[in-house]
Amino acid sequence: MPTLAPRTGRPSPASAHRERGQVLILFVMGATVIFLIGAIVVDIGLWVSERRNAQAAADLASLAAATQLRNANASGDAQAKGLDFAKRNGFDDADSNIDVQVNPDTSNETVEVTIDEQGVSLFAGIFGITSPHVGASAVAAYGESPLGPGWVLFANSSDCNPNSPPLNILANHVTVNGSTHSNGNLHIEGPQDDFVGPVTWVCPGGFNQAPDQQNTGSYQPAPYPVGSQPAASAVGSWSDVPCTVTVPPGTNINNNPALWDIPGVRLKSNVICSDGDLSLSGDGISGHVTFASNQGQITITSTGSTGNQLQPADSLPSSLADLLAVSFASPTSGAAIDIAAAGGLYRGIIHAPNSQIALTGSSNVNINGILVADTILLSGNNFRMTALPGLSGPPLPPEIHLED
């Protein structure tokens, strides 16, 4: 009868060989899975990151390019700006691995930027994926913004000499509710001058503040440069002025009884015109009256602490309904309109198209209107200046946005 060999607990050589073969197969399969997972996790993560960078660059490039869509050479300027911003963000069209396309559509005021890049593979190359294309695109549109708050201070001179700013605000404790603009330089002395509305200028580096104003003044929004703005003119020429009373040059209105309704208290409602100088001085004077000079200076002086209360004449046509004072005097005659105000209210448009408006004030002077002149000099303190309702101001910065 045959007997069985006792068990020793060890596999036979053939069995051990088979097990080693199985482990090798499992190792190869496991390594393949690891490489596959690496390709999926690492490479796809890298491609997602590259695409995210390309999308951010395309967004920025299209937004930058859209700002050029109102230029004379809109298409060329938009393409150049888009390529420049793509390059700044790491996508240079000169690189053979990167393609940047900037396509302006000037009729619809949009720009499309497309970025295509050959991505990098770390593991996926094992499976034949060596340089996948990673890309993104974005479309940005130019939208016209509504006009800003009405003008309050508008200097039309294009002088860029920093020593002679067309709009020179030397006064302190000035509050402006409306738009402030110089077609040249702009200086604000302060302190504590507060502006609620755009503060804009044209000359490069043309905004200057005194140190006290920098520390104590406020701006809503922050001041910004713009292109030259059309003059906010109230009347085009002397022939447009609808005079109701014409007086000799050098007339002191205080000494002309025909111009008063109640002497020393209230002026008659008139458009008072002169070829030369006009002057008014006193305290507590009121009236609906418009002052106009062809070649002379208009001087209005407060002599007390009450201040004067002046508004435009009732007889003005609707196109000039807010005109308070206008002088066409040339610059050689000094300030065309010189107002020294101690308190009071001055409502309407004060206009000196060829020369300067000089306004000096104290004790809470209220200006409800606009000063528009070749140059403006504001001095003294305690002004509150508010734009007239219904008068447009400067265009706000364009609304550049990404399309969905």
Domain final residue pick, 85, 114, 143? 143
Least confident of 81-95, 132-146, 199-213: 132-146
Q: Tell whether 163 and 82 lie within a shared domain.
A: no
* pLDDT tens profile 235-262: 889 999 999 999 999 999 999 999 999 8
Give the domain extent around 123: 16-143
CA dihedral 35, 37, 40, 41 (to 10 degrees): -110
* pLDDT tens profile 11-56: 555 555 555 566 667 767 777 777 667 666 766 777 778 889 999 9
Of 247, 309, 255, 249, which Cα lies nearest the Cα of 284?
A: 309
Within a domain: residue 5?
A: no
- Most distant CA pair in the chain: distance in Å? 158
Of 179, 167, 169, which Cα lies nearest the Cα of 374?
A: 167
In whole angstroms, give the CA distance from residue 366 to residue 299: 18
Within a domain: residue 216?
A: yes
Q: Tell whether 94 and 196 lie within a shared domain.
A: no
> How many residues belong to the chain?
404
Q: Tell whether 131 and 240 lie within a shared domain.
A: no
Task: Flag whether pLDDT at 64 surpasses 90.
Answer: yes
Extract the tokens encoding 200: 């804009």
Within a domain: residue 403?
A: no
Q: Tell whether 130 and 29 lie within a shared domain.
A: yes
This model's pTM is above 0.85: no
Within a domain: residue 197?
A: yes
Within a domain: residue 131?
A: yes
Domain final residue pick, 108, 143, 178? 143
Within a domain: residue 8?
A: no
Q: Tell whether 194 and 135 lie within a shared domain.
A: no
Q: Tell whether 233 and 378 lie within a shared domain.
A: yes
Q: Tell whether 26 and 91 lie within a shared domain.
A: yes
Q: Is beta strand 133-143 parallel, antiparallel or unpaired with respect to 399-402?
A: antiparallel
Output the pLDDT for position 10.
57
Q: What is the DSSP string of 63-130?
A: HHHHTTTTSTTHHHHHHHHHHHHHHHTT--TTSTTEEEEEEEETTTTEEEEEEEEE---SSGGGGT--
The total domain count for the chain is: 2
Other CB atoms within 10 A of residue 53 CB:
17
The mean pLDDT value for 322-333 works out to 90
Domain final residue pick, 143, 163, 195? 143
Q: Residue 396 phi/psi, 5° resolution?
A: -75, 165
Helix, strand, or coil (residue 19): helix
Output the pLDDT for position 227.
87
Q: Tell whether 100 and 220 lie within a shared domain.
A: no
Q: Tell whether 138 and 157 lie within a shared domain.
A: no
* pLDDT tens profile 263-308: 778 999 999 999 999 999 999 999 999 999 999 999 999 988 889 9
**What percent of the chain lies above the pLDDT cut of 90?**
65
Q: Is 153 exposed, middle or buried (0-12, 13-18, 19+ CB in 10 A)?
A: buried
Output the pLDDT for position 234.
77
Q: Is beta strand 266-267 parallel, antiparallel or unpaired with respect to 260-262?
A: antiparallel
Within a domain: residue 296?
A: yes
Q: How distant, in Å, are the alpha carbons of 166, 276, 335, 337 from that of 249?
A: 28, 4, 16, 15
Helix axes of 44-66 and 74-88: crossing angle, nearest 10 degrees: 150
Q: Tell whether 62 and 156 lie within a shared domain.
A: no
Within a domain: residue 205?
A: yes
Q: Tell whether 45 and 159 lie within a shared domain.
A: no
Helix, strand, or coil (residue 325): strand
Q: What is the DSSP string of 66-84?
A: HTTTTSTTHHHHHHHHHHH
Output the pLDDT for position 72.
86
The mean pLDDT value for 304-316 works out to 92
Q: Tell whether 160 and 233 lie within a shared domain.
A: yes
Find how far residue 29's CA is from the centre of its chain.
Answer: 64
